[in-house]
Amino acid sequence: MKLSDIMSSPVVTCGPDDTLRVVSDIFKRTQFHHILVTEQNVLTGVVSDRDFLKAISPNVGKASATPADRATLNKRVSQVMSHSPISLTTQAKLIDVVTLFNQHRISCVPIIDEQRAPVGIITWRDVMRIMLEKYQLKQKPTS
């Protein structure tokens, strides 16, 4: 199975100089847990919802938030992202993703083209969804 068949696409991206306020807005608008970071359309990093939550004050969004708490949203993406993420091309196979998940402590694999531009993303949840679909197909009675 090719990754192009199961990856989420199009991807949501931001720039390394964007603020965490931009990231917050993206996470609020989408159901994604990872945002790919690009510079001149080349993949340079990944910021996860966990990276984001670790970087901001826990008081952001609460009535008790101080100006200093809210200022944590002014941090730059480059300060909190994972740099030089492990990635694959669309020609890779599902087993390649599973291997990476088992070898590294990552929860997503960006899918890139020949110019390192992101074209998709695969998360461990996508792998689990494919496994469930395949299992359910095997369980269907044949007529």
The whole-model pTM stands at 0.89
Q: Which of 3.30.360.10, 3.90.420.10, 3.10.580.10, 3.40.50.300 is the CATH number of 3-139?
A: 3.10.580.10
Name the residue with tokens 């969004």: 61
Mean pLDDT of the residues in the chain: 92
Percent of the chain with pLDDT over 70: 99
Has residue 65 got a pLDDT over 90?
no
In angstroms, rounded to a whole number, what is the distance separating the alpha carbons of residues 9 and 99?
22
Residue whose C-alpha is closest to residue 124's, from 102, 142, 92, 139: 102
69 or 43: which leads in pLDDT: 43
What pLDDT, on the 0 to 100 scale, is given for residue 140? Answer: 74
**What's the pLDDT tens digit per position in 83-93?**
999 999 988 99
Mention every residue, 6+ apart, whose C-beta is less than 8 A from residue 119.
Answer: 7, 9, 10, 11, 90, 111, 112, 113
Calculate mean pLDDT across residues 56-80.
91
Residue whose C-alpha is closest to residue 43's, from 8, 15, 77, 10: 15
Domain ranges of the chain: 3-139
What pLDDT, on the 0 to 100 scale, is given for residue 18? Answer: 98
125 or 137: which leads in pLDDT: 125
**What's the pLDDT tens digit per position in 100-110?**
999 998 999 99
**Single-letter residue type at 117:** A
